[in-house]
Structure 1
Amino acid sequence: MEDHANSRHKKTVQPVAKARQEVYVLRDLKEYLGESLLIIFSVLLALVLTEFINKQHEKSQTKELLNNIKEELKKNKQAEQEQYVYQQGILKRIDSVLRDPGLQKKVLTDGTFHLDYLAPEGVSLHDLSRVAWQVAQSHDITPKLEFKLVEMLTDIYDQQARIDKIEDKEAAVFLNYESRKPENIRETLILMRDNYHGWAFDRAPALIKKYDAAIKEIDRDL
């Protein structure tokens, strides 16, 4: 019984928890500077790499755009050479009709102007394309090219635009009410001849040479 009583008075002893130790790493100024410089270097390296990749992509895109322009110039040159020969034939037929009143009556009969007698394939044989140049301009290509090439291309496509106006200019002549009067047939033919010379035929030889010069200049840039 006594042992039992003593056991009730005994205190339960709980284990004492050890104090948690924390370790503080002390860094000096050099270590902070080293880490900062490493971060800065990493950021700068990423920027340099990004800039390099962007420039390579830009060069590749510019090269592709120039190749497209070059191919367009080649096709336009061929088209203009064929058109020059075609329009030469038109001018010869106009001159023949001007010298022959009998032929004039075939060109204009009962108020109907027979354009096909003068231009069997229409006023223009081909349209001169400018799609590649327009696409290149939409990608802001001009600051990436030499000024000389930009000047050449601008001039070429401006000349093409003038040549393409020949259809509107000629239509304004032979679709005019006055051109349907027999007494005005000579004036109508003369105006048509002058339009061909002023807007298309006389421009062709110089334009063909400009195509060659621009193609060579592009080859130097590629």
Structure 2
Amino acid sequence: MKKYLGEGLLIVFSVLFALFINSLAQKYQTSQKVKVAKESLLKEMEQNQVIMTQWKEKHSKILKHIDEIIKNDSLQEELIKDHFLDIGALTGQENLISSLVTSTAWETAQATQILSELDFDTTQELTYVYELQNSIINSTLPDLVDIYFQRETHRKESLLPTLIQFKLHFNEIVGQETLLVTLYPGAIEKLQD
């Protein structure tokens, strides 16, 4: 009986020990995945911060230029001299965006459910940043481009209302970019903790 009891206890201990080792291995793998996700998010966030700062500077210049055009009739005439609104003249011959912000690391962290391993404050901070970033890319910028492609935009008699529309939209995008640029450092700090 002692022999069977000893073997039974040894089997139970072996099973519990194996479960313990398996649990440690899973925790280690999860911690490694969290580490990789944080590093990827941090790198993406730092790159996006640089790009968004550039966007903000560029769009602020365009906004100032639109203000100058609104106040100056001869600049308005120059803007529509070829019987259509010359967006290049409006933007100083620059593209609206020269590089894209990305959300690949964020989407990967969501898809792999690694975000559930991060603390609530970090997840919330990251969510603010990526939601605002998506709003700019998927809503504000397309709205701005839509104005340009409307037929009414290119009529000479609609120039001033169109310029005011552009001014309002550029005000909005610069405001969103300014907010986003102020949110990045907090999110980066959370990822570095």
The TM-score bracket by the shorter chain reads: over 0.9
Aligned to 1:172: 146
Aligned to 2:112: 139
**Separation in 2, partners of 1:168, 1:182:** 23
**Percent sequence identity over matched residues?**
26
- Find the residue that maps to 1:208 and give its secondary structure: helix
Aligned to 1:10: none
Mapped contact 1:111–1:181 kept (Cα < 8 A): yes
**Separation in 2, partners of 1:34, 1:109:** 98
Aligned to 2:94: 121
In the alignment, structure 1 residue 187 sits paired with structure 2 residue 187 = no
Mapped contact 2:33–2:114 kept (Cα < 8 A): no
Mapped contact 1:124–1:166 kept (Cα < 8 A): no
Mapped contact 1:111–1:180 kept (Cα < 8 A): yes
Query: Gapped runs of 5+ residues in structure 1?
Result: 1-28
Out of 91, 103, 113, the position equivalent to 1:130 is: 103
Mapped contact 1:123–1:170 kept (Cα < 8 A): no
Mapped contact 1:178–1:184 kept (Cα < 8 A): yes
| TM-score of the aligned structures, taking structure 1 as reference length | 0.82
Aligned to 2:127: 154
Aligned to 2:191: 218
**Separation in 2, partners of 1:170, 1:122:** 13
Aligned to 1:62: 34
Q: CA offsets per residue over residues 171-193 of structure 1, 9 Å max, x none?
A: 21111011111010011111111
Mapped contact 2:84–2:155 kept (Cα < 8 A): no
Structure scoring higher RCO (CA < 8 A, sep ≥ 6) equals: 2
Structure 1 position 121, deviation (Å): 2.3
Mapped contact 1:80–1:126 kept (Cα < 8 A): no
Structure 1 position 105, deviation (Å): 2.1
**Separation in 2, partners of 1:204, 1:174:** 21
In the alignment, structure 1 residue 197 sits paired with structure 2 residue 171 = yes
Mapped contact 1:81–1:208 kept (Cα < 8 A): yes
Structure 1 position 209, deviation (Å): 1.9
Amino acid at match of 1:185: L
**Separation in 2, partners of 1:154, 1:113:** 38
Could you say which structure has the higher helix fraction?
Answer: 2
Mapped contact 2:115–2:123 kept (Cα < 8 A): yes
**Separation in 2, partners of 1:205, 1:172:** 23
C-alpha RMSD of matched pairs (Å):
1.3
> Where do residues 42-81 of structure 1 align in structure 2 (5 Å cutoff)?
42-81=14-53
Structure 1 position 210, deviation (Å): 1.2
Aligned to 1:9: none
Structure 1 position 110, deviation (Å): 4.2
Mapped contact 1:93–1:118 kept (Cα < 8 A): yes
**Separation in 2, partners of 1:163, 1:219:** 26
Mapped contact 1:86–1:125 kept (Cα < 8 A): no
Structure 1 position 96, deviation (Å): 1.2
Structure 1 position 106, deviation (Å): 2.1
Query: Gapped runs of 5+ residues in structure 2?
Result: none
Aligned to 2:7: 35
